[in-house]
Amino acid sequence: MKQSPTKATLMAAMMAFTAGEAIAADFRKNPFTLAYAGALTANEPGKVNIHPVQYTLNGLDIAANVYTPAGYDPARRYPAIMVAHPNGGVKEQVAGLYAQRLAEQGYITIAADAAYQGASGGEPRNVDKPANRIEDIHGMADFITRYAGVDAERLGLLGICGGGGYSLAAAETDKRFKSIATVSMFNSGRVRRNGYNDTQFATVQARMKQASLARAQEAAGGEVLYSGDANLTDEQIAALPFDLYRQGYEYYWKTHAHPNSTFKYTTSSLVELMRFDATDQIELIDQPLLMIAGSKADSLYMTEDAFAKATGTRNKEMFKIEGATHIDTYWVPEYVDAAMNRLTSFYATTLTQEALAQ
């Protein structure tokens, strides 16, 4: 795949790091290019293994990683969990971390790059439309139910950040998912429309006009315009008004950077993003629901709003990780452990054959 200017810039920036600048999880040192601490470095018999796979969804090649549990036997029947990555993220980052940790608990898991993003196909690059992201989640289920050893009656779903919002939307109507969890859920449509923490109401009409003009330019064969891409200095990052953005730049551009990961998305995507809301018809979710967020996350308001509106399920829980910010839940060991402890209990009680028989 041809390297985009953003990828080239990121690679150059990463190569320029001095020896004194710590990289927490360097994808270049991992044979699977995984960018998280404790990532698999080899497949060993009898242990959790990783399997890069590719499948076709609506004519596009989708790149994914399947994790199989220790002692995996394709003749057995295992519950499976789909893991949807954050906006701008790829399967090798936090989605892979949680997929691996869940595989350690005995699940077959899958983390896939969204269509038009990461190592998956689709042009122009980095289209970020809600319909595509939701379809990606349905597509993971389509694929994994045909994977050897998967019990199609015991599918779970985990969405992280933007993938959390899209997971809620997917689960509204896809009842193959028997239980749904989110970590640091991000309502992409609400933020693109209203601004983060609803701070940009005054400019919504102007921004929608810009998106409309960008779509018209694309349709006429003109240059594809992008939003969200910025190569900021450390000083500019420190001056950003929200923890999510400050720590997000640190995570995505430094400590857990990956060349397939980028903040940018086509400006024309906003035509669809700005009319989307992850809580629209959320009452259709009648499956067990667990929503996890950091108590200090400035994105917490999105989880709280969605949780309150999820009135269709009798089995729901919001779990706050004390002291954690949004990005902390991506990689800080104590907070990932806290999230995993709750996820382990949740899936163990909702994806058992006994629970589903009730």
Q: Is the Cβ–Cβ distance between 261 and 252 less than 8 Å?
A: yes
Mean pLDDT computed over 25-40: 96
Residue 229 pLDDT grade (very low, low, confident, very high; cuts 50, 70, 90): confident
Cβ atoms < 10 Å from Cβ of 349: 13
Q: What tens digit of pLDDT does each residue of 50-82 get?
A: 999 999 999 999 999 999 999 999 999 999 999
Instruction: List the structure tokens of 344.
Output: 């382990």
Residue type, 108: I
State the pLDDT at residue 22: 42
Distance of alpha carbon 159 from alpha carbon 267, whole angstroms? 24
Q: Where are the domains of the chain?
A: 5-187+230-263+277-357
DSSP, residue by residue, 254-293: IIT--TT--S-EEGGGHHHHTT--TTTTGGG--S-EEEEE
Q: What is the largest CA-CA distance in the chain?
A: 58
Contacts of 293 (CB under 8 A, 6+ apart): 183, 184, 185, 299, 300, 303, 304, 318, 319, 320, 321, 324, 326, 329
Categorize the per-residue pLDDT at 12 as very low, low, confident or very high, splitting at 50, 70 and 90.
very low
Q: Choose among 150, 143, 147, 122: nearest CA to 269.
A: 122
Mean pLDDT of 88-101: 98
Q: Which residue has the higher pLDDT, 230 or 210?
A: 210
Mean pLDDT of 307-323: 98
Q: Cα 337 from chain centroid? A: 18
158/250 Cα distance (integer angstroms):
24
* Whether residue 15 has pLDDT greater than 50: no
> Can you tell me the distance from the alpha carbon of 27 to that of 274, in angstroms, rounded to the nearest whole number?
33
Predicted pLDDT of residue 29: 96
Write down the architecture of domain 5-187+230-263+277-357 according to CATH.
3-Layer(aba) Sandwich (3.40)
Give, as one character, the DSSP assignment of residue 50: E
Pairing of strands 226-227, 265-266: antiparallel
Q: Tell me which residue of 293, 317, 321, 299 sits closest to 307, measured CA to CA.
A: 317
Average pLDDT, the chain: 93
> Is the previous residue joined to 86 through a cis bond, with omega within 30 degrees of 0?
no
Instruction: Quote the pLDDT of residue 354.
Output: 66
Measured CA distances, 232 to 10, 245, 308 (Å):
12, 11, 36
Rounded percentage of the chain residues whose pLDDT exceeds 90: 86
Answer yes or no: are the C-beta atoms of 225 and 217 closer than 8 Å. yes
pLDDT tens digits for range 136-165? 999 999 999 999 999 999 999 999 999 999
Q: Cα dist. 147→64, 75, 110 in Å?
A: 13, 11, 10
